[in-house]
Amino acid sequence: MCKDETYVHPSALVSSKARLDSGVWVGPSSIIGENVTIGKNTRIDAQVYIDGHTEIGAECRFWPFISIGTEPQDLTYDAQDTAVKIGDKNIFREFITVNRGTAKGSGTTVIGSDNYFMAYSHVAHDCVVGNGTVFMHGATLGGHVSVDDFATVGAMGGVHQFCHIGKYAFIGGKSTITQDVLPFCRVAGERPTQFYGLNAIGLRRKGFSRDRIKTLKEMFKIIFYSDLNTSHSLSRIEEEFPPSEDRDDIISFIRSSKRGFVKKPGDRWEADSE
């Protein structure tokens, strides 16, 4: 089979109205609905179910036993015409579920590009996932959750509806997230979830310089370990640190938070965030 040739296994059920770009590969017993669009060189392995108004980008990989674009698990959903939109180069491992949006939400569940979803992950209705994220085994998003670029959600971690996970954040395994998680930080634990400092290892792996990491750490000390309240902490950061993308992202994130953010400090701040 030529790389640019589309292949559909004889046992697969692909609607004649579905749009498959060149190089798409559909494996045995997979089912593709009539309103599905699949981009170039995406591979659909055996027994994958894709339905609804679902748009999938190029060079994605779907392993067996996955369900994409099915109805949202929302009691108010009444067959409205909602959607799923998925970008390029995403990896979906076994037993993943992605539900389409709701009319009372944004109407569309959105996943960006270059994300890695490990087995049994779940992305609920109206979620927005950025680029370069990692969802470990069993990571679960409730409805209307936003996950920004390069965040990691740990194994069996659960994120409550309407929470916002900041970019480069790291959520430890089996954590229960009921508030927003600031960019660049690490949190872990179940009720209460605790803050464990800067995600320094992750930031170094992404090419952050020592000076940039040091500056972030100094800002976090003001937010989490000074005697100032949140509003005064942000004012002090604005006074002491010149405008930068990182500084402005943190300030904007906190000021726009509707649920508050994980702030209770854990015991290993100094040791683990160097």
Distance (Å, rounded) from C-alpha 160 to C-alpha 119?
A: 20
1 pLDDT more than 90: no
Q: Would you state the pLDDT for residue 205?
A: 96
Residue 136 reports pLDDT greater than 80: yes
Asked about 9 being catalytic, the answer comes back as no
Q: Give the Cα separation of 119 and 104 in Å (integer).
A: 29
| pLDDT tier, 266 (very low <50, low <70, confident <90, very high otherwise) | confident
Q: How many residues does the chain have?
A: 274
pLDDT at res. 115: 98
What integer pLDDT is reported at residue 274 of this predicted model? Answer: 41
Averaged pLDDT for residues 194-203: 95
Asked if 180 contacts 195 with a C-beta cutoff of 8 angstroms, the reply is no
Distance CA 158, CA 191 (A): 12
The Cα 135–Cα 150 span in angstroms is 10
pLDDT of the residue at 273: 43
DSSP code of residue 76: T
Distance (Å, whole) CA 263 – CA 182: 9
Pairing of strands 13-14, 25-26: unpaired
pTM listed for this prediction: 0.95
Q: Is residue 105 scored above 50 in pLDDT? A: yes
Q: Which of 143, 154, 189, 197 is catalytic?
A: 143
Told to judge if 143 belongs to the known catalytic residues of this protein, a careful annotator would answer: yes
Which one from 45, 51, 126, 246 is the annotated catalytic residue? 126
Smallest CA-to-CA distance from 128 within 113, 112, 115 is with: 112
Q: What is the pLDDT of residues 157-192, one digit of tens each?
A: 999 999 999 999 999 999 999 999 999 999 999 888
How far the first Cα of the chain sits from its last, in Å, is 51
Task: Kindly write down the DSSP assignment for every residue of 136-177, as one continuous string.
Answer: -TT-EE-TT-EE-TT-EE-TT-EE-TT-EE-TT-EE-TT-EE
* DSSP structure class, residue 187: E
pLDDT digits 0-9 by tens, 212-240: 999 999 999 999 999 999 999 999 999 99
Residue 191 pLDDT: 86
Based on the residue annotation, tell me whether 248 is a catalytic residue of this protein.
no
Assign 269 a pLDDT band (cuts: 50, 70, 90). very low
Q: What is the pLDDT of residue 272?
A: 44
- Indicate the range of 17-31, 57-71, 256-270 predicted with least confidence: 256-270
Looking at every residue in the chain, the average pLDDT score rounds to 95
Please state the rounded mean pLDDT for residues 59-68.
98
- Residue 130 confidence (pLDDT): 98
Active-site residue (options: 125, 154, 157, 202): 125
Q: Report residue 196 as tokens.
A: 């464990």
Is the pLDDT at 270 greater than 60, yes or no?
no
pLDDT class of 4 with cuts at 50, 70, 90: confident
- In the predicted model, what is the mean pLDDT of residues 86-109? 98
What pLDDT sits at residue 268? 54
Q: Nearest 5 degrees, angle CA 73-CA 77-CA 80?
A: 125
Distances (CA, A) of 87 to 38, 84, 136, 168, 204: 10, 10, 19, 19, 26
Please name each of the domains of the chain with its CATH number. Answer: 7-202 (2.160.10.10), 209-257 (1.20.1180.10)
- Least Cα distance to 186 among 174, 204, 168 occurs for 168
